[in-house]
Structures are given as structure tokens and as C-alpha cells.
């Protein structure tokens, strides 16, 4: 049976160059510990420019906001502060973070659940408040009545859009107000006309489906018309994030692996996962049941390409391209990519601590990290780490299938339940590079479980043609040069 079911990661030019600096990476881990998160700040600005290119293609205007929740890095936020890109914050601490990094309030959008302190600071600094419910809108109005605050720019987040023709199923969400409640929301805005500036309406859907998003965008255009009929002058539609990222270099790797995973679940080949975990698939009387619960790790239409395809799509009932409808109404378009904007912006390094063979013959590799430090399994994303052999370490040149375990005293602390195929066998002292972890996998779930340290972060930058590094919190956009 083949032992080379690779899921080879797609690597950007900068990431590939940095991985090639093997001695420097090893020294960094020796100095700062394992795991270690490595950021590439300039890449996030390059990614943002790709969204601008889509705007120019469709003759649209509006703002690109980075969804800060995808990564806590200070270096990334400071780099963005020096660019034209805005930032979307979903907590009080994120708001304080971006203000300290150099963002002015007019470039900040406040989203997510908000307490009184979050609302006050957002209003005080002039952020655009994306309101999640009627109750939140009332709370914001009462806050502005009690305290001397400037006029607050608000957007109304909507959900549960309904199709008039062919039924388009929309996943229920706890965020946003039902589109039928737009009238109630406008009543509250009307009550606070002296303190609210209604910028427009928004949606944010937990789906990759283009039909659902097209329906939601068309629904927002209808809601904008209702705003105008009520005497308001809205100017923008915000369509949130969810543009995705393409993690794998080859589609054939993904198709081959998922096919073989199905065969393993059916028992027609050896297991490919720890204890034959099926990722949503199961065998019943020789028949494959269930649905594969994995993120589509190979997505050729992702990021700015996904946005382009959405804007080129016809509105379900108006039957005209969505970009054309936005342009004809002179509406700005706001987007909030998270994962997609930090694509190729970082990686996580972990040292191999132990390699052992179980009685059943499985190879178990324990690394100096845990599944909270590298949370690909939690987000159901699959891609191979890259093995960097340490000088003088043992190991064969034969492809090896291994299970990666973490440093927590917990049975389920597996970096991934998948058997990972490496081109060489690892040994203690080697490094594993987990690429493209900046979007949610690096620090979203990181904690101090069992008093294990949280990974340090470093920022990489080019200076006089060579790669240099500094601690994440010590990075400023004035460092280095792009030459």
C-alpha cells in the first residue's frame, strides 16, 4: 500500500525563502523555545492590494478591513496601520490594541458582541459600529444620550435572507437581525437621528456558498432601498468575510487523500487516521455513510478570486451582476477578510521531542507544541508540515507515515488525527515547520493549559537583501526594506 499520501502545502515566495533559512530558524527556536510563531508582515499589505485590484476591475469603491480575530500579532497590525487597509475589531481589547498600534478611529470597524465599555470606546474614537441587534442599537443610543460622545457611524447587520424564486437555504446564525426586522431597526435610528449616522447595512454569513452570499447581498440592496424610503442616505454595503484560503499546492493530493480516506473508513485499506477516525464518515454494512467534515484544503477560488466571482454573479431575482447593481446605486462596498488576508503571512515552528513506535506498529512523534498552539485539527484543515533535519540526527530517507502528538498530558492532544506522510523519518532535535498558520491556527486557541508556555512570535523582514527578524512586539513598519 502506498505510503506517500502527501498533502503538500502551497508556499508563497517569501515563506519558501524563509523556510530555506534552516540554520536561522533552528537558532531562533533554540533561543525562544518551541513552538515559535513566525510572521511576515509585508505579506498582509500585498494581500490587501489584491482585493483593491478586484475593486478596480469592477469600478467599485469602499474599504478593506482586516478581521483582527484571525491573529493577535502586533507586527501585522502595525504594518496595516501604515497602509490604506482598515481593521475590524470584535472585542474591547482588540480595539485598544489597534488604537495603540497607530490606527485612527475612522479606519476601524467594531463588530461582534459588545459590552458598554466596548461601545463607549468605539463611539469615542469614531469607529464605524456594525450593530448586531435591535437591543445593541438601543443600548448605543442610550449611551450617547447619557455621555457626551461624537455622532456615531452605524451599520445594521442583517441575516436570514429569503429567496423569492428558487429556494436558497441559508444557515441560521446567532448574529445579525432578521431581515424582516429592518423596519424596527430604522425606528431606533430615527429616534436617535441627532447622534447616529446610518452608513448602511451589512451581513456576515458562516458559509462558503456563493448562492447564499449572492442572496444576502441582493437582500442588503433591498434593505438599502428601504433605508432611503425612510429618509436616510446610506452609502455602503458591508459583506463581511468568509473568502477562504487555498492551503494545498496540488488538487490531485486532496482528491487522492479524500478517496483513500473513504477506503480506509470502509476497511479496504489500512487506517489513515488515529483509531480510524472518519472525519464525519462511517461504514455501515459495507456502505459509506455520513459527510466529510473537513475544510476544503484545496480551494482554487479563494481570497480575492472568491470576491471577484461573487461580484460577477447575477443577483438571484434582479438578474444583473451584483457589482453592476452596487455601481449603479453609487454604493461603497466594505469587506472584512480574516483568514484570506493573512494567507502566507506566517508559520509555526516546533521541535521534535520524541519518536517511538507503538506495539501496533504506528510511529508516534511528540513535538514541543500542542493542538492549541497549532489548531489546524480544530478548524478541520489538512496540510503537511515541512521537516527540517537537524545536523547529525538519525533517520531514514524513506517516506514515513507518522502521528503527531502534543506536549499536554491529555489523550486527545494530537496535532492532527491524520497520519502525516513525511519524505524522511524524523528524529529528536529536528524541526517541523507548519506553514500558513497565521489565519486562526497560530494563536486563536492558544492557552496556558498545564502551565505550558504560549508560543512567542517573531516578525521577519528583508534588510539589504537578507532576511532579518525581531520579536513581534518590537516590529515597526520602519524596519528593513523591501529590496
H/E element holding 138? helix 134-146
How far is it, in rounded angstroms, from Cα 280 to Cα 290?
A: 6
Residue 392 CA, chain-centre distance (Å), reads 38
DSSP letter for 173, please. -
| DSSP SS3 for 157 | strand
Q: Which residues partner with 284 through β-bridges?
A: 287
Spatial CB neighbours of 347, under 8 Å, sequence gap ≥ 6: 15, 18, 19, 37, 38, 433, 434, 435, 436, 437, 438
Q: Which one is catalytic: 125, 227, 409, 470?
A: 409
328 secondary structure, DSSP code: H
Indicate if 409 belongs to the active site.
yes
Whether residue 226 contacts residue 156, with contact meaning beta carbons closer than 8 Å, is answered with no
The total number of residues shown for the chain amounts to 483
Task: Please spell the DSSP secondary structure of 5-54, one letter per residue.
Answer: ---PBP--HHHHHHHT-HHHHHHHHHHH-SSEEEE-HHHHHHHHHHHHHH
Q: Locate 477 and state its grid cell.
A: 513598519
Cell of 227: 433605508
Q: What are phi and psi of 179, to 5 degrees?
A: -55, -25
Indicate the SS3 state at residue 236: strand
Query: Which are the catalytic amino acids?
Result: 409
Amino acid at each position: 500500500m502506498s505510503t506517500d499520501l502527501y498533502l503538500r502545502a502551497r508556499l508563497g515566495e517569501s515563506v519558501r525563502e524563509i523556510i530555506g533559512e534552516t540554520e536561522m530558524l533552528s537558532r531562533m527556536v533554540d533561543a525562544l523555545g518551541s513552538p515559535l510563531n513566525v510572521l511576515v508582515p509585508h505579506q498582509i499589505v500585498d494581500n490587501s492590494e489584491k482585493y483593491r485590484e478586484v475593486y478596480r476591475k469592477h469600478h467599485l469603491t469602499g474599504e478593506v478591513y482586516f478581521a483582527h480575530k484571525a491573529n493577535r500579532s502586533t507586527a501585522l497590525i502595525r504594518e496595516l496601520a501604515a497602509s490604506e487597509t482598515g481593521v475590524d475589531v470584535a472585542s474591547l481589547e482588540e480595539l485598544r490594541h489597534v488604537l495603540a498600534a497607530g490606527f485612527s478611529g475612522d479606519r476601524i470597524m467594531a463588530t461582534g458582541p459588545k459590552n458598554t465599555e466596548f461601545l463607549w470606546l468605539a463611539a469615542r474614537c469614531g469607529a464605524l459600529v456594525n450593530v448586531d441587534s435591535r437591543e445593541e442599537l438601543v443600548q448605543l443610543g442610550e449611551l450617547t444620550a447619557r455621555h457626551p460622545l461624537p455622532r456615531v457611524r452605524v451599520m445594521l447587520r442583517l441575516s436570514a435572507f429569503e429567496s423569492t424564486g428558487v429556494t436558497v437555504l441559508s444557515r441560521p446564525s446567532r448574529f445579525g437581525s432578521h431581515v424582516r426586522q429592518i423596519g424596527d431597526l430604522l425606528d431606533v435610528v430615527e429616534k436617535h437621528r441627532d447622534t447616529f449616522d446610518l452608513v448602511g447595512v451589512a451581513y456576515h454569513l458562516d458559509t462558503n456558498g456563493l448562492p447564499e452570499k449572492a442572496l444576502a447581498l441582493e437582500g442588503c440592496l433591498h434593505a438599502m432601498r428601504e433605508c432611503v424610503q425612510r429618509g436616510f442616505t446610506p452609502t455602503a454595503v458591508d459583506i463581511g468575510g468568509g473568502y477562504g484560503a487555498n492551503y494545498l499546492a496540488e488538487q490531485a493530493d486532496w482528491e487522492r487523500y479524500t478517496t483513500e480516506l473513504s477506503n480506509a473508513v470502509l476497511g479496504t485499506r489500512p487506517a489513515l487516521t488515529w483509531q480510524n477516525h472518519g472525519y464525519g464518515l462511517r461504514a455501515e454494512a459495507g456502505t459509506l455513510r455520513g459527510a466529510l467534515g473537513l475544510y476544503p484544503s484545496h480551494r482554487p477560488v479563494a481570497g480575492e478570486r472568491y470576491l471577484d466571482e461573487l461580484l460577477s454573479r447575477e443577483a438571484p431575482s434582479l438578474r444583473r451582476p451584483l457589482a453592476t447593481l452596487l455601481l449603479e446605486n453609487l454604493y461603497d462596498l466594505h469587506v472584512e477578510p480574516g483568514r484570506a488576508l493573512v494567507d502566507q503571512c506566517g508559520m509555526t515552528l516546533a521541535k521534535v521531542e520524541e519518536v517511538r513506535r507503538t506495539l501496533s506498529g504506528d510511529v508516534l512523534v511528540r513535538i514541543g507544541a500542542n493542538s492549541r498552539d497549532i489548531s489546524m485539527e480544530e478548524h478541520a484543515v489538512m496540510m503537511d508540515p515541512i521537516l527540517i533535519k537537524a545536523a547529525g540526527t538519525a533517520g531514514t530517507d524513506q517516506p514515513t507515515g507518522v502521528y503527531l502528538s502534543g506536549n499536554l498530558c491529555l489523550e486527545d492532544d494530537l496535532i492532527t488525527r491524520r497520519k502525516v506522510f513525511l519524505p524522511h523519518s524524523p528524529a529528536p532535535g529536528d524541526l517541523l515547520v507548519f506553514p500558513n498558520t497565521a489565519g486562526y491556527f497560530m494563536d486563536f486557541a492558544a492557552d496556558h493549559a498545564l502551565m505550558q508556555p504560549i508560543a512567542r512570535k517573531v516578525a521577519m523582514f528583508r534588510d539589504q537583501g537578507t532576511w532579518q527578524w525581531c520579536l513581534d512586539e518590537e516590529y515597526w513598519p520602519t524596519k528593513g526594506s523591501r529590496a
